[in-house]
Amino acid sequence: MTDIQSRNTEYVITDEHRRQFAEQGFVHLSGLLTDDEIDEIAVDYERFLRREIEVPGKDFCDMAGDYGRDPSDYSIVNVMLPRRYYPQWVDNIVEQRGRSVARQLCGDGMELDYDQLLAKQPYKHDAVFAWHQDMAYWPDTRDTRTATVWLAIDDSTIENGCMRFVPATTHETVLRPHQPMFGDRGASHALGTNLRDNDAVVSLPIRKGDCTVHNERVMHGSGGNNTSGYRRAYILAFRSADTVAIERALGFTHSHNDERTVVDDVGVAGETNGVR
């Protein structure tokens, strides 16, 4: 890849961005990457999808079904921790700009917790991400600040399953109840919760190179892909350095290959294979 030192790695966050993130739990940022930068990332992204870059075990799976699905049948191709399996991506331009965004939205001391690729295959009507809150997947920690950067590799539309949010659910005092979506947690990873009658859903189409950033408690999900093309996303979640250190001390790496369950020091159970 082009030397990141020759690029502008900062993205300017406005007061309006900060207000939206604080009040609604998410914000849309235009042009996090240029079209050329996205096209450069997409070269290696496609190598993951073609399995030319080896991703072992459950870290290559389908988020719309159980772990037993054959890869040819996947609806939402999920690659966990791509930078672990392709170290050339460490500190790439997405990570650099994402860290800049996270610092400006959440304060100093934010570092990368995990990265992830999610690709909805064409004409997969069941490529649905159930409504959920990310904190349902994670051990509870005292500092829960999170900025999850969801970067569009393709135009993300209502037709191909763009992100959907329930604004301000971040301010609810307790998380919604979540349940496994496809059998138990040993058979699949996805959790889901239900909309309430008074929940106002916002669909958020964004163009290639744009991103959304959401926090750890806002309800979000996405619909199926009813188009002839992929809907590809590159996700990086930034959390405080102290929180990441606590997770790792618990054995929580965000890899789906980690099997054991841990209980954090607050007493809330979490699984070591948790992601958004």
pLDDT in tens, 43-90: 999 999 999 999 999 999 999 999 989 999 999 999 999 999 999 999
Taking a C-beta distance cutoff of 8 angstroms, is the pair 132, 193 a contact? Answer: yes
Residue (of 133, 112, 123) closest to 219 by Cα position: 133
Long-range contacts of 54-58 (CB under 8 A, 24+ apart): 54/85, 55/79, 55/80, 55/82, 55/85, 56/85, 56/257, 57/256, 57/257, 58/189, 58/255, 58/256, 58/257, 58/273
Residue (of 149, 144, 98, 115) closest to 247 by Cα position: 144
Residue (of 183, 185, 163, 85) closest to 118 by Cα position: 163
> What DSSP state is assigned to residue 123?
T
Predicted TM-score (pTM) of this structure: 0.91
Alpha helix positions (H), 131-263: 241-249
End-to-end Cα spacing for the chain? 28
Query: How many degrees, rounded to 5, is the angle at CA 149 between CA 162 and CA 133?
Result: 70
213 half-sphere exposure, CB direction, 13 A CA radius: 31
Beta bridge partners of 33: none
Mean pLDDT, the chain, whole residue set: 91
Q: Where are the domains of the chain?
A: 4-271
The predicted-structure confidence for 210-238, as pLDDT tens digits, reads as follows 999 999 999 999 999 999 999 999 999 99
DSSP 218-239: SEEEE--B-SSS-EEEEEEEEE
Taking a C-beta distance cutoff of 8 angstroms, is the pair 250, 272 a contact? Answer: yes
The predicted-structure confidence for 242-276, as pLDDT tens digits, reads as follows 999 999 999 999 999 986 544 333 233 333 333 33
Stretch 103-113: mean pLDDT, rounded?
97
CATH number of the 4-271 domain: 2.60.120.620
